[in-house]
Amino acid sequence: MGRTGKWFSFDHYNLSPDAVVLGKSLGAGLPISAVVARKELLDTGNGVHMFTASGNPLCSMAAWENIAILEEERLIENAAENGAYFLQMLEELKQKYEWIGDVRGRGLAIGIELVEDRSTKAPSAGKTAAVCYRCFELGLIVFYVGIHSNVIEITPPLTISKQEIDLAVSILDQAFKDLESNSIDMEKVKQYAGW
């Protein structure tokens, strides 16, 4: 909800989904879920016991307030604007390091794919774990994801500022420099890998 710079990811495309399933982003930390769909899909029977995390009055009120905050504080617009800025900064970082094979994303849902080199584009799970661990040591928490464990996931709060993005990019830059100079303790990385 809002992370990609639009209410939903499908809003970036000419799509009209049959159903939308909402989960953790709806409740802003409280357990709630929802299914939004056309009447003819939802009114097909009794689904009272279908959802464990739906219908709770406290969580429903939190979800309502969360939606209001997203609108009132213009957090979706912030995600779009600052996400574009973040991607621009990461593209500049990509020019400095051959291991950054790709930078992609929409809004504040960003991935940095690490490879052994750009010619083979072989996934580099080891380098990814090392950079994530070094970022942790320097005060930035990022995780790695992907089927090859070689994509650094960047999904900051929708309230992130450009100054915080600059700091994050400077820490990533330092982590890449440390990888380049072989000054990351790979024994510690081995203990970290798989968190």
Computed over its alpha carbons, how large is the radius of gyration of the chain? 20
Q: What is the pLDDT of residue 23?
A: 85
Q: Are residues 147 and 181 both part of a single domain? A: yes
In angstroms, rounded to a whole number, what is the distance separating the alpha carbons of residues 52 and 30?
Answer: 13
Q: Are residues 58 and 143 both part of a single domain? A: no
Nearest to 186 by CA among 135, 120, 134, 149: 134
Least confident of 25-29, 55-59, 112-116: 55-59
Beta strands at 19-22 and 143-145: parallel, antiparallel or unpaired: unpaired
| Domain-embedded: residue 1 | no
Q: Are residues 85 and 38 both part of a single domain? A: no
Domain count, the chain: 2
Q: What is the pLDDT of residue 177?
A: 97
Q: What is the pLDDT of residue 39?
A: 87
- Domain that includes residue 162, residue range: 76-192
Backbone CA torsion sign across 183, 187, 190, 195: negative
| Helix (H) or strand (E) run with residue 151 in it | strand 151-154
Q: Are residues 155 and 132 both part of a single domain? A: yes
Burial track 60-77 (b if 16+ CB lie within 10 A, e otherwise): bebbeebeeebeeeebbb
56: pLDDT strictly greater than 60: yes
Q: What is the pLDDT of residue 24?
A: 83
pLDDT in tens, 71-95: 999 999 999 999 999 999 999 999 9
pTM over 0.95: no
| Last residue within a domain, chosen from 20, 39, 72 | 72
| Domain-embedded: residue 3 | no
In angstroms, rounded to a whole number, what is the distance separating the alpha carbons of residues 11 and 13?
Answer: 5
Q: Are residues 62 and 143 both part of a single domain? A: no
Q: Are residues 174 and 102 both part of a single domain? A: yes
Q: Are residues 64 and 115 both part of a single domain? A: no
195: pLDDT strictly greater than 70: no
| Last residue within a domain, chosen from 21, 53, 72 | 72
Q: Are residues 117 and 31 both part of a single domain? A: no
Say which residue, 12 or 47, is predicted with more confidence: 12
Q: Are residues 42 and 66 both part of a single domain? A: yes
pLDDT in tens, 5-17: 999 999 999 899 9
Q: Are residues 93 and 55 both part of a single domain? A: no
